[in-house]
Amino acid sequence: MDRIRIVGGNALAGTIPISGAKNAALPLMIASLLTDDTLTLENVPHLADVEQLIRILGNHGVDYSVNGRREKQQEGYSRTINFSARNIVDTTAPYELVSKMRASFWVIGPLLARMGEAKVSLPGGCAIGTRPVDLFLEGLQVLGAELDVDNGYVMAKTKNGRLVGNRYVFPKVSVGATHVLMMAASLAKGETVLENAACEPEIVNLAECLVAMGAKIHGAGTSTITIHGVEALSGARVRVIPDRIETGTYAMAVAMTGGDVMLDGARPDLLQTALDVLVETGAEITPTNEGIRVKRNGAGIAPVDVTTAPFPAFPTDLQAQFMGLMTMAKGKSRITETIFENRFMHVQELARLGAHITLSGQTAIVDGVAKLKGAPVMATDLRASVSLVIAGLAAEGETTVNRVYHLDRGFERLEEKLSGCGAVIERISG
């Protein structure tokens, strides 16, 4: 299994290109199931989760081809990919594929809407809480789906070949369930109103894609989304938005190590709350035409309390990285997680680097220390693992991060991007 070796202590300086967002690319790829035309997606990041979803879609009959000449779209960088679901050959998403990535459960929406039936395994995914799918099932039932859960599979079918628009109020904000119901309602008969919908930028990107395909959607990015179902959707060409979590992660790395880095292609409006928090910690954040410039020179890191919550509040996907930063703040900070009940697995690993953190329910109290010391640590989930990388960059001496496959799910060319800014970081294979 690959490991990442870091020798900490260098400030970061230079430019980091921000990739297309994993969490936007995945639902956009799944939207290709809604049409028999070609959906062309630009800026698709080259990540293990994207490759896994290509395999899952391939199982349903989706063909894909990478656009452009190889020298222009180097292997390993964000690419333009055509997806064509002309013939759906199978409406079953098997356990072996779905268990590897939770978002693959989302195929249930488009398959049901277009084919009138779907059999999808209940998901696995990151071990950051129980993560049920009750909202997806309830919402699809409200749109007229008949559901049965048997042997770990959800069997779904429509009554008369088509879903029927309706009003659904999410009892809890869910990004995935909002994606799925928006896709399903696009091909339903009549109007659907989704209330208490997720407002994340990835929802807006999916809505833009569906509208480009001919869907009639209003209100995406607010908590009420209205969808007038159409009979069929066409192909389109859509660009994946820049990854706000990757942006925030590197911004936090610079805030921790000090230095001066341009996050090329980043969009400040996608993570304003997190940027405001970074300014409070003492970082200098400057939006420019190219992206976001992050600097921290000389001054210490000020402690700041944060609470995660749905967009536009502080994102849960930056909580672990922010905790990394707070381990070296000059004082105590409180970090409260309200989205996932088990998202503190990085605490034990950060402690191995010398961090002082105590847990009290859903709140971590971080008592900043003057320095961290390198150590071998274990990645436990995608965002937790990158918090260990950030802490390793600021720690004295050598840190090895084991179980790197978590990082490969969500961070494109991590070592290359960081070493390009002066970090000592390398992958050790085997």
144, 190 Cβ separation under 8 angstroms = no
- Which segment (10-18, 79-87, 124-132, 254-262) binds ligand UD1 by CB under 6 A? 124-132
418, 253 Cβ separation under 8 angstroms = yes
> Looking at beta carbons only, is 316 or 380 nearer to ligand UD1?
316
Q: Which residues pair with 226 in a beta bridge?
A: 193, 218
- Return phi, psi of residue 345, to 5°: -70, -15
DSSP designation for 328? T
State which of positions 286-325 bind ligand UD1 (CB under 6 A): 316-317
For the chain, the first-to-last Cα distance in angstroms comes to: 5
* Overall size of the chain counted in residues: 430
Question: From the CB of 49, what's the least distance to ligand UD1, in Å?
Answer: 8
Closest-approach residue to ligand UD1 (CB)? 176
> Looking at beta carbons only, is 25 or 347 nearer to ligand UD1?
25
> Looking at beta carbons only, is 204 or 302 nearer to ligand UD1?
204
By CB neighbour count within 10 A (0-12 exposed, 13-18 middle, 19+ buried), where does 275 fall?
buried
> Looking at beta carbons only, is 176 or 291 nearer to ligand UD1?
176
Angle between helices 382-394 and 244-257 (to 10 degrees): 20
33, 114 Cβ separation under 8 angstroms = yes
| Helix residue ranges, H only, 327-381 | 346-352
Question: From the CB of 19, what's the least distance to ligand UD1, in Å?
Answer: 15
60, 91 Cβ separation under 8 angstroms = yes
What three-state secondary structure class fits 33? Answer: helix
Q: Is residue 129 part of the contact set for ligand UD1 (CB under 6 A)?
A: yes
> Looking at beta carbons only, is 142 or 301 nearer to ligand UD1?
142
- Which segment (74-82, 175-183, 267-275, 373-381) binds ligand UD1 by CB under 6 A? 175-183
Q: Is residue 381 part of the contact set for ligand UD1 (CB under 6 A)?
A: no
Q: Which of 6, 12, 26, 325 binds ligand UD1 (CB under 6 A)?
A: 26
Place of tokens 């809480």: 129
Q: In the numeric block, which tokens belong to residue 323?
A: 């905790």
CA dist., res. 336 & res. 187, Å (int):
39
410, 387 Cβ separation under 8 angstroms = no
The radius of gyration of the chain's CA atoms, rounded to the nearest angstrom, is 22
User: Residue 89, Cβ neighbours under 10 Å: how many?
Assistant: 10
- Which segment (33-41, 80-88, 127-135, 292-300) binds ligand UD1 by CB under 6 A? 127-135
Q: Which of 85, 135, 233, 301 binds ligand UD1 (CB under 6 A)?
A: 135
State which of positions 201-230 bind ligand UD1 (CB under 6 A): 202
Dihedral, 89, 91, 96, 98 alpha carbons, nearest 10: 120
> Looking at beta carbons only, is 133 or 262 nearer to ligand UD1?
133
Q: Residue 273 corresponds to which amino acid?
A: T
Total interface residues for ligand UD1 by CB under 6 A:
21
| Helix residue ranges, H only, 146-189 | 175-186
- Active site residue: 126, 199, 209, 421, which one? 126
> Looking at beta carbons only, is 202 or 415 nearer to ligand UD1?
202
Q: Which of 136, 153, 168, 322 binds ligand UD1 (CB under 6 A)?
A: 136
> Looking at beta carbons only, is 26 or 253 nearer to ligand UD1?
26
Q: Is residue 134 part of the contact set for ligand UD1 (CB under 6 A)?
A: yes
- Which segment (132-140, 216-224, 363-371, 419-427) binds ligand UD1 by CB under 6 A? 132-140
The question of whether 126 is a catalytic residue gets the answer yes
Q: Is residue 176 part of the contact set for ligand UD1 (CB under 6 A)?
A: yes
Q: Is residue 159 part of the contact set for ligand UD1 (CB under 6 A)?
A: no
Q: Which of 339, 404, 421, 425 binds ligand UD1 (CB under 6 A)?
A: 339
Residue ranges that bind ligand UD1, judged by CB under 6 A: 23, 26, 102-103, 129, 131-136, 172, 174-177, 202, 316-317, 339-340
Which amino acids are annotated catalytic? 126
